[in-house]
Amino acid sequence: MAIHGVALLALSCLGGFVLGDWLGALLGVKANVGGVGFAMLILLYLTGRFERADRFSPPSAAGLVFWSNMYLPVVVAMAAQQNVLGAIRGGPLAFLAGTTGVVACFALVPVIARLGRPPAAGTAGPEGGAGGA
Amino acid sequence: MSGILQEVLIKNGLLTAFLLVGGLMGLSYWASARLTAGRLHGSAIAVFGGLVLAGIGGVVAGGRNGLADLPVFAGLGLLGGNMLRDFTIVATAYGASFAELRRSGLPVVVALFAGVATAFLCGAGVAVAFGYRDAVSITTLGAGAVTYIVGPVTGAALGASSEVMALSIAAGLVKAILVMIATPLVAKRIGLDNPHAAMVYGGTLGTNSGVAAGLAATDPKLVPYGVMAATFYTGLGCLLAPSIFYLVLRVLCPA
């Protein structure tokens, strides 16, 4: 039944969020630390277990996949309620503070990705050029 | 007539939101195929369209929640709120590769620390350039450049002025919105086309909504990887900004 997949997803989310809040409290931080990440790991673990035991029926999976497919519309709805004016009204200081960080971080992505490129990746890495360390 | 219609739309707010977002997405995919020959992905146009609507809603309703402040579109607040956002994002992990996630573990930790520190430094640098000299304000503005949650959390902890708090939130909003718009445009140049790069990207940029929407507009398959990494970013920022970063700044700029 579809609700089984949805319930499993809800269980994973709630479990992950509790862990994230708990970790935040443990670190003395007023924020959820990694809740969504923990929820994803719980979901992967649970669905993997059920699938191996052959107890995750296609209708159950369909309930899960439906919400996965609703992700983009939810993000569009999220975009439609951003405080765009607040960002604009922040003026040049807010604009520069936000943009310089984003530009610098975008530039960092390929650098860090190269540092830790996993060995088993199928794509040819750029490490062929100069040999040695 | 129109009174009854409006009442129905308001009473069934979530359904109205489904209809609005569905229509916007249909239009975006049509525009993507017809007007840009598929070069700009439909999802990227849809996210941008959502932001434009948010701006219009902000002007018309004068609130903080974009279009969702208009009673007719209040359902957007539920559809695009934190609960369903996290619910659907977690759902995207179904089918993600556990091995990929584990393999990129260490680079992601590097990305998280480098990303938070870089964003903070940029924000703090701009604050100094604009004449701020006290450690509390500089830290709060730097924290805002990390994410719009780290900013106010840090400012509240350090007792920043409300003007600085507002600016720090605005800096975080600029970041989130810019990441949404720019990710699909720079994706090729920064090699954002595999799970490993997506995790590093999520860890470096870290702003939850920005990463979620940016990846959705780039390649939906990469969403779970980027979000998995980004989910630790705000927490790390809230941990570092009011503590280590502030202490360092207090030594550098004694009030």
Residues B46-54 have a mean pLDDT of 89
Please tell me the predicted confidence (pLDDT) of residue A32: 78
Residues B83-104 have a mean pLDDT of 85
> In chain B, whose CA is at the least distance from the CA of A36?
B231
Please tell me the predicted confidence (pLDDT) of residue B231: 86
Closest CA to B50 of A108, A97, A114, A78: A78
Contact A83 B58 (CB under 8 A): yes
> In chain A, whose CA is at the least distance from the CA of B98?
A44
What number of C-beta contacts closer than 8 Å exist between A and B?
Answer: 340
Please tell me the predicted confidence (pLDDT) of residue A116: 67
Please tell me the predicted confidence (pLDDT) of residue A127: 40
* Residue scoring higher pLDDT (B152 or B76): B76
Q: Does B241 touch chain A (CB under 8 A)?
A: no
Residues B153-179 have a mean pLDDT of 89
Q: Shortest Cα distance from B67 to chain A (angstroms)? A: 6
> In chain A, whose CA is at the least distance from the CA of B145?
A98
Nearest to A44 among B18, B84, B93 (CB): B93
Cα B14 from Cα B20, distance rounded (Å) = 10
Q: Does B40 touch chain A (CB under 8 A)?
A: no
Q: Is the pLDDT of residue A118 over 70?
A: no
Domain coordinates in residue numbering, chain A:
1-81, 83-115
> What is the percent of chain B with per-residue pLDDT over 70, rounded to a whole number?
100
Using a CB-CB distance cutoff of 8 angstroms, which residues of chain B are in contact with residue A48?
98
CB-based contact B158:B138 (threshold 8 Å): no
Cα A15 from Cα A42, distance rounded (Å) = 8
Q: Is the pLDDT of residue A120 over 80?
A: no
Please tell me the predicted confidence (pLDDT) of residue B136: 93
Highest mean pLDDT pick, A52-56, A109-113, B208-212, B235-239: A109-113
CB-based contact A80:B76 (threshold 8 Å): yes
* Residue scoring higher pLDDT (B153 or B175): B175
Q: Is the pLDDT of residue A130 over 60?
A: no
* Residue scoring higher pLDDT (A88 or B196): B196
Please, what is the average pLDDT of chain B? Answer: 90
Stretch 89-118 of chain A: residues touching chain B, C-beta under 8 Å? 89-102, 104-110, 112-113, 115-118
Please tell me the predicted confidence (pLDDT) of residue A72: 85
Q: Does B223 touch chain A (CB under 8 A)?
A: yes
CB-based contact B208:A125 (threshold 8 Å): no
Please tell me the predicted confidence (pLDDT) of residue B255: 62
Q: Is the pLDDT of residue A122 over 50?
A: no
Q: Does A54 touch chain B (CB under 8 A)?
A: no
Q: Does B200 touch chain A (CB under 8 A)?
A: yes
Residues B191-196 have a mean pLDDT of 91
Q: Is the pLDDT of residue A125 over 50?
A: no
> What is the percent of chain A with per-residue pLDDT over 70, rounded to a whole number?
86
Using a CB-CB distance cutoff of 8 angstroms, which residues of chain B are in contact with residue A107?
190
Q: What per-residue string of b and e applies to B94-121 under the rule 16 or more CB within 10 Å gives b? A: bebeeebbebbeebbebbbebbbbbbbb
Q: Does A62 touch chain B (CB under 8 A)?
A: no
Residue B186: how many other CB atoms lie within 10 Å = 16
Q: Does A26 touch chain B (CB under 8 A)?
A: no
Q: Shortest Cα distance from A131 to chain B (angstroms)? A: 22
Using a CB-CB distance cutoff of 8 angstroms, which residues of chain B are in contact with residue A108?
111, 114-115, 118, 204
Contact A79 B201 (CB under 8 A): no
pLDDT digits (tens, 9 = 90+) for A7-61: 999 999 999 999 999 988 888 877 778 888 899 899 999 999 998 888 888 999 9
